[in-house]
Structure 1
């Protein structure tokens, strides 16, 4: 495999900035367990919703939050619900067991099996490499295939290519011949070029990205959604993938489009988390009633003034003053009008969605 050798100054700077945040996380991430739990809850909802929407699912963040709160039902009626449930369980497995999940073909197949465990349509090929061609195809407005966008590996070649990719990744990681962020980027773009499974490759690639980042020591990853960043830049995501993938079989693969996109997404991920941490620090300087309002909204998702009055036990006029301050500061969002007004935290899905 022809790996990248020299990185331009922009890439070196991006890696240095991401690694600086990685080093600071141990100190700046010492929030209370409740606050860390809330950050992780928001990031998980965003990640599950975004990653499945990238592949065509249509569930909103609020619908995903509701579904994740009822995962124990183990029965999901629609394809979208099945994909969300599987993605959430695969993510949870990576978060909880990444120290023991070395990058092996068996673990990749295990994660694929978890990812598709609720999908009846995929039951026959869960955890198994593809047996049929799965080239990336473009469709017209009527759903008719109009041409191959990208030719993936042939089924016959897939086991060999996956063995080579995993071996290269493990060797590069052990020898530290490349920076771990570059190793992760190369693994993902090559994995998606192989497209080893009949379905679920895009979702699995993002699960594997999280696994590789956690194993490389980027412990803040569960608290900020990389999937949300990718969804917000989906057109650039596909363009960067294709520009690099179409060169992989040549003598000089062009790694820069994908590595550049990947590093810029990681920068946006850590920038978003840093902004949230700064808001958490600002909260400590708020009046006590304001902190109680935020805590109540974290617990319930959305509340009216009457409900806040009952929960907090203070008078309505004081609540109105504190709510106006929180809304003006962007720490709370107001929804609805007049008697139908209710409040929620920004970025945190609430039952029923936005007004």
Structure 2
């Protein structure tokens, strides 16, 4: 029997493609450019952080079928209320771990013990006794499609192997970071992929993997996830996310899988986050533009219906109250129209 080994010295003879190198170069360029303007843009960055927390908590849970109303979501994220049901309890747990990662990333080592502690906190508000405990029975990684179809994507290793595999994964990752065997973002992506593929818990694997993604990126000095929700970008490209996981998991058990497909996807998400942050900061740096003009510009550029929350994220220099009032004004002047109602309500240009 071939035992899974994590060889982070060469990641199964991984060769970075030209496309991957190009994405890395663009990320480094944007990261360097943004680092010079963060101090004078503090007010905007604080607003983006607040928006990203809500989006990240919402998107990462919604990927797993856990959600609540927009009003309740904001109240939970800003700790203005207590969870009313199982879904809200899981959302509150994600909120707390997300805040912990944002605020204390440098003090959280990548170890088996840390992973168990973070998982325990993830389920702290629920009645579940599984929080902080590895799976006690074998499980499967199942992809659920929008039409309700389900597909078994991968058979993770047996439950009894989980503690050892997580221990060895953390050791291999930490050693590779110390030795700089690959660019740090490549190592972050590989670690997250292997964690998901081990699927160490009965529940919460996907959500914890995205929190670990933020944690490892923070420690590697890539903090874009503080201002732009990476979880939201993953939710928007969920099909590509699952497909990349599927392609990279082929022959994983026998140490011959290709990390390339998932790493290429991961770098694409990080690059998009930096592009989004750069664009929003540039808007602020330029001559002030009215909220109405910015909302119309956002709807024109996105070429799809946008919720009030999505518009707020794209127009960070204006408050939620200003956005809400401006949307009403634009509706009354017949420049935009509202489609659907309630949680699904979104806005489009009137001539769309």
Corresponding residue to 2:90 among 83, 88, 91: 83
The residue that corresponds to 2:68 in the other structure is 59
Corresponding residue to 1:136 among 126, 141, 157: 141
Structure 1: 5+ residue stretches without partners: 305-331, 344-349
The residue that corresponds to 1:256 in the other structure is 260
CA distance in 2, matches of 1:21, 1:239: 27
Q: TM-score, normalised by structure 1?
A: 0.78
Decide whether aligned partners of structure 1 residues 11 and 354 sit closer, same or farther in structure 2, where only a CA change above 3 A counts.
closer
The residue that corresponds to 1:101 in the other structure is 108
- Residue 85 of structure 1: how far off its partner (Å): 1.1
What is the DSSP-based 3-state SS (H/G/I as helix, E as strand, rest coil) of the residue aligned with 1:149?
strand
Contact 2:56 2:229 in 1 (8 A): yes
Per-residue Cα deviation, 1:295-337 (whole angstroms, up to 9, x for no partner): 9951636554xxxxxxxxxxxxxxxxxxxxxxxxxxx644785
Q: Which segment drifts farther, 173-182 or 58-67?
A: 58-67
2:57 is the alignment partner of 1:36: no
CA distance in 2, matches of 1:125, 1:188: 21
CA distance in 2, matches of 1:138, 1:17: 31
Contact 2:234 2:241 in 1 (8 A): yes
Decide whether aligned partners of structure 1 residues 280 and 130 sit closer, same or farther in structure 2, where only a CA change above 3 A counts.
same
Contact 2:57 2:77 in 1 (8 A): no
Matches for 1:169-318 after TM superposition, within 5 Å = 169-282=173-286, 284-286=287-289, 298=319, 300=321, 303-304=324-325
CA distance in 2, matches of 1:289, 1:20: 31
Contact 2:143 2:242 in 1 (8 A): no
The residue that corresponds to 1:310 in the other structure is none
Structure 2: 5+ residue stretches without partners: 1-5, 295-314, 348-352
2:122 is the alignment partner of 1:110: no
What is the DSSP-based 3-state SS (H/G/I as helix, E as strand, rest coil) of the residue aligned with 1:254?
coil
CA distance in 2, matches of 1:7, 1:142: 35
| Equivalent pairs, count | 314
- Residue 142 of structure 1: how far off its partner (Å): 11
Contact 1:66 1:351 in 2 (8 A): no
CA distance in 2, matches of 1:108, 1:245: 22
- Residue 141 of structure 1: how far off its partner (Å): 10
- Residue 106 of structure 1: how far off its partner (Å): 1.3
- Residue 24 of structure 1: how far off its partner (Å): 2.2
CA distance in 1, matches of 2:236, 2:146: 23
Contact 1:45 1:64 in 2 (8 A): yes
- Residue 286 of structure 1: how far off its partner (Å): 4.5
CA distance in 1, matches of 2:289, 2:85: 44
| Bigger radius of gyration among the two | 1
- Residue 20 of structure 1: how far off its partner (Å): 1.7
Per-residue Cα deviation, 1:185-215 (whole angstroms, up to 9, x for no partner): 1111110111111110000000000000000
Corresponding residue to 1:152 among 137, 156, 172: 156
Decide whether aligned partners of structure 1 residues 333 and 196 sit closer, same or farther in structure 2, where only a CA change above 3 A counts.
same
